[in-house]
Structure 1
């Protein structure tokens, strides 16, 4: 996901009969030369990872529609009744149909949505069994193996995008792509702005492809760069939000939130010391919570208290351990989001603690909203369309970038090559001392915060130095004697 302007080295191009040269023939500044070379190599080597991320992300954007096709009969009811049954009855129906496991959460159905009763089963590790109950008739409509509420299809698409179904090792690919995405995007913007400024082009040519340019690298570059400009904000957003839950950069991000005390506040479920309530389900099956058997009727008592406390819309009820409060959390992730939470004493039905989304630290709010937008749920179908457009646009930018590389290849009989040459090296040597003094600590800090970016940058540097030494040794080698 990048604006990979795989540009040509700074050298004059032959004039076209249909358009003037893009820029005057002059030497690039050391900073421009360095950025161009970095952008070129990063684009060539990182673009394959970005292609995979774009394709798998594009597939994930249609996850809600896939769920509707595959699991519509489980997720929705055929007829909406006038009033739902007590939650305790619905939990009892789910328990009767699937007695294994313990109830860890319940999402009462609203509208045409079924009630979701989530059972924790030790054999499933991170996954759960979710039983879907018609809230108006109590009929069990099916059971799925879910992952944090996601259906098997959505879970499969999510794993494909995050780690290519390779587990922890596979997560490196997506983190590498997200780590370089913002570098390539911003680098492409700077390079295109410098090029258009040098040729005294109007602002319109920064955003609109130059269709008067001769066919070839100029026209390809125009499409590549202007499309990248339009995508920049979205690509920066995807990079930032993708890194928040990556393996290494995400851990550093989490440590930063801890240091700033900017995480979502914990909701206390502690209750005053007292006897643990016994199961008085009155004929209902007890719902096993985190610590054992709890009173089934408490589901309705806790839900009524939460509604009275102002928690409207879809909610999730999570039973606590014996002697602890239960939690009720709003789970509406569409804008405007509803994420308020309350802790309720299941015996007395009183609110013991509360945490409102409006009171969260700003960074915690932005992180939560950003993740939902990255997953395509914050703005509903509009969010899905925007993400799909970003993925398709990125694929076009990458294809144009590689095409430029191909179009810049030498074609003369004595200089034929399969691809274009890289921009010339030497940008670092030309930088002023103060730029090096400031730039090196900044690059080290960024490399520490984004480890895969730092390691891959070191690898690029090592390869580039090795290639430079080899070329220098070849150029200075004495000509063979004889002949």
Structure 2
């Protein structure tokens, strides 16, 4: 997200006058002439310049789409409350809530289709209870039908088709951000953007700080703020770079977390977690062999005046009571037993930091806690993955998380626009040299690297390409295309020379 003294943030020349010829120096170059001293350590700068330039030009459109769709997704909690207030909130907070059994019965009466898979008590006094149904035609799409019930009156306030608890609007915006509503094919755009993002960020930081250290005497102020008194292309270049510097940490986190659920890099991450046994322990939901069939406490679900659609045994109110007594406070979700040999599952769903994500298996007849998995039991990598995903979705730190994501998305969008502006501002304007955009950095910059550096770089690039397949394949495609174009150009140049 940065530049060099003689290269724009995209790698194009960036001198004050758009007609100046590019030069060469240790901070980066666009000169077409090879260094006189051959392979030197300063050969990194032109290579980084060229990589940053072409990565920015080719991948920035994908990043811009990801930034804008991500920006829209950050507002999901507020949009949900605005669009689905009828379903999500009660008209009036009453006295004592009705039993969950009565609320589920009301939901079943209004929606007899499918079967109940979970019951989600209200998180706040003015929230509705959610009764989640598995409906065959929706299950094929990995979706559910959620019925919203007023906990004080047991009145059904509506029903929505949901995906993992997300409303239709949230699901639509999520799909837009992840795959542009193009299915598996569309996922490639977001993975390509996320794969190249960290290359752009790290390369840009190296270029910018290398330039400022050389030309600003290492002053921290000049490294973190735009150049004072800069105008024209220098001003645009400086704003582009500083924007990238300030949001760089957030961009790296978003890139890393986004790749964890991508198609190809996500598969590599899954393989890594499997090899390290870095998944949360599984909760044993097998009912106890001594599970009592005694239902004399008057809280059983069978034999009620109305069919609640719940299995025989203790009522969800009693299951919740047992879970609360075991320490599962805050927002929870009660998952219905899958069969007669299974337990209820009560899981904390508080994703705000500090998270509460303990789980417990509760015997449907005795109310005994038969198994438990606490957040503290999760491996470190599993914790980091879960927290990273929540931060990426804007739910880990509430409104503050949303604001930070919005700032990063806006900053990335502005930085991309400024990068293209610099490229345009660097265009030749003389009558005999007119062009729509600035010149690209010279080819063959890798030939300026010392042999030891090249020996380390090549295997490293191959390893990175394996870990991030779309990055590797797109880089290979560019190298092949660039080589073909260079060959064609040399043949065209050699032709007139031979005929002269």
**Do the structures match in fold with TM over 0.5?**
yes
Q: CA deviation at 1:129?
A: 0.6
Q: Pick one of 29, 37, 40 that aligns with 2:53.
A: 40
Q: Which residue number in structure 2 is paired with residue 195 of structure 1?
A: 211
- In 2, are the aligned partners of 1:284 and 1:296 still within 8 Å (CA)? no
Task: Tell me how far apart the structure 1 counterparts of residues 70 and 426 of structure 2 sit (CA, whole Å).
Answer: 31
1:97–1:140 CA contact under 8 A, matched in 2: yes
Which residue of structure 1 aligns with residue 38 of structure 2? none
Equivalent pair of 1:23/1:196 in contact (CA under 8 Å): no
Who is 1:147 aligned against? Answer: 163
Which residue in 2 is equivalent to 1:175?
A: 191
Change (3 A) 1:7 1:181: closer
Q: Which SS does the other structure have where 1:162 is aligned?
A: helix
Is residue 9 of structure 2 the alignment partner of residue 6 of structure 1?
yes
1:305 to 308, 316, 322: 322
Deviation at residue 135 of structure 1 after TM alignment: 1.0
Query: Please, which moves more after superposition, 442-451 or 199-208?
Result: 199-208
List aligned pairs for 1:270-289, cutoff 5 A: 270-273=286-289, 281-283=302-304, 285-286=306-307
RMSD over aligned Cα, in angstroms? Answer: 2.5
For the pair 1:230 / 2:233, whether they are aligned, the reply is no
1:122 to 2:136 alignment = yes
Contact in 1 for aligned 2:428/2:438 (Cα 8 Å) = yes
Deviation readout 1:373-404 (Å, 9 max, x if unpaired): 11111111111111111111001100110011
SS in 1 for 2:440: coil
1:61 aligns with 2:44: no
Partner of 2:232: 216
Q: For structure 1, which segment, 462-471 or 144-153, has the greater mean C-alpha deviation from structure 2 after superposition?
A: 462-471
Partner of residue 492 from structure 2, selected from 454, 461, 474: 474
8 A contact 1:90–1:138 mirrored in 2:
yes
Aligned pair 1:371/2:389, yes or no? yes
Count of residues in Structure 1 that have an aligned counterpart in Structure 2: 472
In 2, the alpha carbon distance for the partners of 1:245 and 1:403 equals 33
- Deviation of the 1:364 alpha carbon: 0.8
CA distance 1:77–1:446, shift in 2 (3 Å):
same
Relative distance call for 1:422 and 1:236 in structure 2 (3 A) is: same
Among 414, 423, 436, the alignment partner of 1:418 is: 436
Contact 2:118/2:133 (8 A) holds in 1: yes
- Tell me how far 1:112 sits from its aligned partner: 1.1
CA distance in 2, matches of 1:182, 1:173: 15
* Equivalent in 246, 249, 263 of residue 279 of structure 2: 263
Call closer, same or farther: CA 1:261–1:61 in 2, change over 3 Å. Answer: same
Structure 1 residues 3 and 327 mapped into 2: Cα distance closer, same or farther (>3 Å)?
A: farther
**Is residue 31–residue 431 contact of structure 1 (8 Å, CA) maintained in 2?**
yes
Q: Is 2:427–2:438's contact at 8 Å kept on the other side of the alignment?
A: yes
Please say if residues 315 and 330 of structure 1, whose CA atoms lie closer than 8 Å, have aligned partners that are also in contact.
yes
Scaled by the length of structure 2, what TM-score is found? 0.89
Alignment of structure 1 residues 63-82 onto 2, 5 Å: 63-82=76-95
Q: Hey, what's the Cα distance between the residues in 2 that align with 1:340 and 1:25?
A: 52
Q: SS of the counterpart of 1:168?
A: helix
Distance in 2 (alpha carbons) for counterparts of 1:357 and 1:121: 31
Query: 1:455: which partner in 2?
Result: 473
* Matched residue SS, 1:477: helix
Residue from 201, 220, 223 that aligns with 1:185: 201
CA deviation string 1:454-482 (max 9, x = no partner): 11111111121122212222222225969
TM-superposition CA deviations, 1:76-125 (whole Å, max 9, x none): 11222332221111111111110000101110114211100000011012
Alpha carbons of structure 1 residues 447 and 219: separation in structure 2 relative to 1, 3 Å? same
* Counterpart contact for 1:276–1:322, Cα < 8 Å: no
